[in-house]
Amino acid sequence: MVNAYQFNRVHPPLMKDYNGDVYSVPNTSLEETIGEVELPTKRLEIGPKGRPFFVIETKIELTRKMYWDMLTRPDHFEEDITKTLTLVSGVSEVQKQVIERDLEIEAGASGFGLSASVKASLKITNEMTREWHKEQTEQREQTFKAGYTYCTWVLNDELSLEKQTRGIQRFGNKEKLIPPKKGHRNPETTTNIVTCRLATYQDKWRDTASAEILNRVLKLQAAQGKHKITAIPRSAVNLVDLLRQLDRFVIPAKTKRELIMACSLHRTR
């Protein structure tokens, strides 16, 4: 195995680097925090000027991160097959509207109407705002080849908004939290997320176990020279077919056991 995977925008962890076991890569290695910022606290005062009876205080924290998410798990095909893939890119309009409501702004090409300092903290650039286009769906036909494992990932750019609201009652110079209604809390914290799907990456890995078994059987065939066998598919090797093929040759029992074991291990992965 190569060095442990570290997040990058170019590609997710590759099956060839982990002998197919990309599930072993921890989630922390699949993501990167781009920036965090806390917006100035807002206070809505209710009551006579200078002597408000109630205060609604709102704090907002924004976090931006990128991460790879597995769209389809690793899948191995025994024969060539054509499938229709549905690929989604861009930003959900519903999510965008929720963020607009919480920020009390209108999201646009300028980067959610945020100040220059906030955009700098979150590394929101002109390139980023161009990537955050309206959600689009594309359907594409693709042929998956036998003898390979396929895994599809999607690169996400996520903006998370954590909003804390406190209701405060004032008595002269003293303040205390207002008792919340049943089913509510004071302070109340909500988290909303808007996610942009930036890119899709499809990983393709030739099953080394299948290839190894095939190569060893073909070498045995060449050594015998008297019989010709049908090449064993490069897809998941069928154990029954393998035994039938091997029975046609004078093969040392140890070698035969090794081939059967390799095939069994391959089928249970």
Q: How far apart are CA 33 and CA 35, in angstroms?
A: 6
Q: Kind of pairing, strands 81-91 and 188-206? A: antiparallel
Q: Per-residue pLDDT tens for 114-163? A: 888 888 999 988 888 788 888 889 998 989 988 888 999 999 999 999 99
20-26: long-range contacts, CB 8 A cutoff, minimum separation 24: 20/74, 20/149, 20/205, 20/207, 20/269, 22/70, 22/74, 22/151, 22/203
For residue 116, the model assigns a pLDDT of: 86
- At residue 31 the predicted structure's pLDDT band, cuts being 50, 70 and 90, is very high
- pTM passes above 0.75: no
Question: Of residues 196 and 232, which shows the higher confidence score?
Answer: 196
Contact 170, 54 (CB under 8 A): yes
Looking at residue 39, what is its pLDDT? 92
Above pLDDT 70, what percent of the chain?
A: 72
pLDDT tops 70 at residue 225: no
Average pLDDT over residues 101-116: 68
